[in-house]
Amino acid sequence: MPIRFFIKQWLMPPGLLLLLLAAGWWLRRRRPRVAALCFALGLGGLWLMSLPLVVQESARVLETEAPLAPQAWATLSRRADAIVILGAGRERGDPAWGGDDQPSPSALERMRYAAQLAKASGLPVLTSGGLHYGTPPSEAQLMAQRLQADFGVNVTWKEEASRTTWENARFSAQVLQPLGIRRVVVVTQAWHMPRSRWSFEQVGFEVVPAPVGFLGADHARPFAGLLPESRAMWQNGQLLNEAVGLVGYRLFY
């Protein structure tokens, strides 16, 4: 895992863009034209990655699943047998919580939404997510603890082995399908939903998508989203990673 993570960080922005800038500096005297191209690609890529407008337009391409209408929440039990919440990482050792790990902001967004769906529908909940870099507790366990403590929702099952979206689906199937559960509400970020739905359908589930955290809506940013923002850099990185994953999953699974 550490080697895979190291390589991935340099093959994806901003790592790749920084390598292009470094190559441009290295080649500036020997290959000035190649150096100029590297500088243009590196700086241009960093600028585009920093723009909220690029986040908005890129997200609209990925966010193909419509949100669940609130008036349909109470009738979800007619369409599904369980709710599955996909893990989204964790924050390590926050002193405000006595040094305990906490679900990431994205995971909390999924949990909050799933809690409302569970209360409205009465459906049982499965949390899915393994160890973060091999360190316990699992993401599934963290989510289960906070769902009960913060939202009053008890988790029926915990899938604690997965490290990828594909494994979320495969290992959730090992837990639920022997119980006869093949219709699930999948809760994840809107931009992550196409790959998630595809993965769960590949392992035999009928999926009711429950996307949350849409980035493609018009967020009314000043100057039409053309001013660089640090948050946009992270969001664009997530969207690009998702686009690559969406293609890769169809090629390798």
Tell me the pLDDT tens digit for each residue of 238-251. 999 999 999 999 99
Whether residue 1 is predicted with pLDDT greater than 70 in this model: the reply is no
Asked if 123 and 82 count as a contact pair (C-beta separation under 8 A), the reply is yes
Q: Which fold has domain 66-212?
A: Rossmann fold (3.40.50)
Question: CA-based angle 158:212:98, to the nearest 5?
Answer: 55
Q: Which residues pair with 125 in a beta bridge?
A: 83
Task: Dump pLDDT digits (tens) for 60-97.
Answer: 999 999 999 999 999 999 999 999 999 999 998 889 99
Structure tokens at 143: 């989510």
- Taking only Cα atoms into account, the Rg of the chain, rounded to an integer number of angstroms, comes to 20
> Please, what is the end-to-end C-alpha distance for the chain in angstroms?
19
Query: Alpha helices of the chain — where are they, by DSSP H?
Result: 2-11, 15-26, 32-49, 52-62, 105-121, 139-151, 165-176, 193-202, 230-252
pLDDT at residue number 3: 83
The residue type at 121: S
Helix (H, G, I), strand (E, B) or coil at 127: strand
Task: Dump pLDDT digits (tens) for 150-191.
Answer: 999 999 999 999 999 999 999 999 999 999 999 999 999 999
Whether residue 30 is predicted with pLDDT greater than 60 in this model: the reply is yes
Structure tokens at 206: 């009928």
Q: Give the residue among 229, 215, 219, 217 at the shortest CA–CA distance from 47.
A: 229
Domain boundaries, the chain: 2-61+229-252, 66-212
Average pLDDT over residues 125-145: 92
Whether residue 218 is predicted with pLDDT greater than 80 in this model: the reply is no
Structure tokens at 200: 């769960």
CA 100 to chain centre: 22
pLDDT at residue number 8: 83
Lowest mean pLDDT of 122-136, 141-155, 173-187, name the range.
Answer: 122-136
